[in-house]
Amino acid sequence: MIRHIFCDLDGTLYNNGISDEDIKAIEEIEKEGVIFHVATGRVFKQAYKMLSDKTQLNGYFICENGSFIFDKDKNLIFKEPIDDYLVRKIINRFESDLAHLYLKYNGDIILSGGEDAFSNYTKDYILDKEMFEKENFDNLVGNVGIVSNNMDELKRLEYYYKSEFSDVCDIYLSGPYTLNIVPNHVSKRHGIEHICKKYNINLDEVATMGDSPNDICMLKDIKHSFAMDKSNKDVKESASYVVSSVRDAIEKIKKINRTK
C-alpha cells in the first residue's frame, strides 16, 4: 500500500499556480491516511508559501534538491550544504558573458546578475554581486546555480562543469533557464531515503512525482513513480507511469491502494 507521496513543485504540482483540482485530490488522499510531501529545488520559504496559500500539508518539505529538509511546522530536521571551499572553487571556474551565477544561501536566492532570465522562475531574489567575492559562506549554501536565457550556453557550462567537478558534484539542467550544481551525495532521492529511514518506511510504500531531469533520481527504481506527460523522454523513461497531472497520479494511487 502507498502511504507516502513525494512530489516535485515546478512543472509538476505548480504550473503558474496550483490547480484547485490538484489541491482537492491531495486533501482527499491525505484524509485516507496517505501523507503528501514536497521535494523541490526551491528554498523552503518559497515552497512553504506556494502550498500554504492553498492548503496545509502533513508531510515534509525536501528543499534545495535535498540539501535541507523541514517539517510542516517549519523546523529544520536535516541539512547537507555545499562545503565553502567547493563553492569558492565553482565560482572561480565560472566564465561566461551570457550567463550568471546564483546561490541558494541561508534560505534566500542570491543573484550575481541575470534578473530577466531568473524572473521567469521567481522574482523573490536578492541581487548582490559582492556575495560572490566572499571566501567564507558559513556553510549555508545549499545549491550553486547558473541562469541564462541561452540554452546553448547552459549546455556548454553543463559540459564544462561536468568535466571539472563530476567526481564531487551532480550537474544538471533543472529547467529552461537554470543549471544546478549540488554535492553528489545530496539529491531529492537522498532526502526521501532520509525520511524513510527515520520513520522505518519501505520504499514500496512510497510514490514519487516529477517532470524534470533533477527528478529522475527520485523516479528511477521506485515502484510507484509518476512522470508528467510533458516531461522529456529521459524523465518519462525513468518513471513507472506517465500522467497528465498530480490529480491523475493520485487517482491511480487510489486504485493501487484499493487492490492491496
Per residue in 184-208, pLDDT (tens digit) is 889 999 999 999 999 999 999 999 9
Per residue in 227-240, pLDDT (tens digit) is 999 999 999 999 99
pLDDT tier at 174, thresholds 50, 70, 90: confident
pLDDT at 7 over 80: yes
Q: Is the pLDDT higher at 120 or at 77?
A: 77
pLDDT at 260 over 80: no
Q: Residue ranges per domain, the chain?
A: 4-79+186-258, 84-183
Max CA distance (Å), the chain: 57
Asked if the domains at 4-79+186-258 and 84-183 fall in one CATH topology, the answer is: no
Give residue 246's pLDDT: 98
Q: Average pLDDT of 62-69?
A: 96
Lookup: cell for 131: 556575495
Lowest mean pLDDT among 100-104, 178-182, 244-248: 178-182
Lowest mean pLDDT among 18-27, 86-95, 155-164, 173-182: 173-182
pLDDT tier at 70, thresholds 50, 70, 90: very high
For domain 84-183, say whether CATH 3.40.50.620 is its number. no
Q: What is the pTM of this model?
A: 0.93
Q: Average pLDDT of 78-94?
A: 96
Per-residue HEC secondary structure of the chain comes to: CCCEEEECCECCCECCCCCHHHHHHHHHHHHCCCEEEEECCCCHHHHHHHHHCCCCCCCCEEEHHHCEEECCCCCEEEECCCCHHHHHHHHHCCCCCCCEEEEEECCEEEECCCHHHHCCCCCCCEECHHHHHCCCCCCCEEEEEEECCCHHHHHHHHHHHHHHHCCCEEEEECCCCEEEEEECCCCHHHHHHHHHHHCCCCHHHEEEEECCHHHHHHHCCCCEEEEECCCCHHHHHHCCEEECCHHHHHHHHHHHHHCC
Task: Calculate the average pLDDT of the chain.
Answer: 95
Q: Average pLDDT of 101-110?
A: 96
Give residue 121's pLDDT: 83
Q: Average pLDDT of 109-121?
A: 93
Q: pLDDT above 70 covers what percent of the chain?
A: 100
Q: How far apart are CA 8 and CA 1, in angstroms?
A: 21
Q: Is the pLDDT higher at 260 or at 157?
A: 157
CATH placement of domain 4-79+186-258: 3.40.50.1000
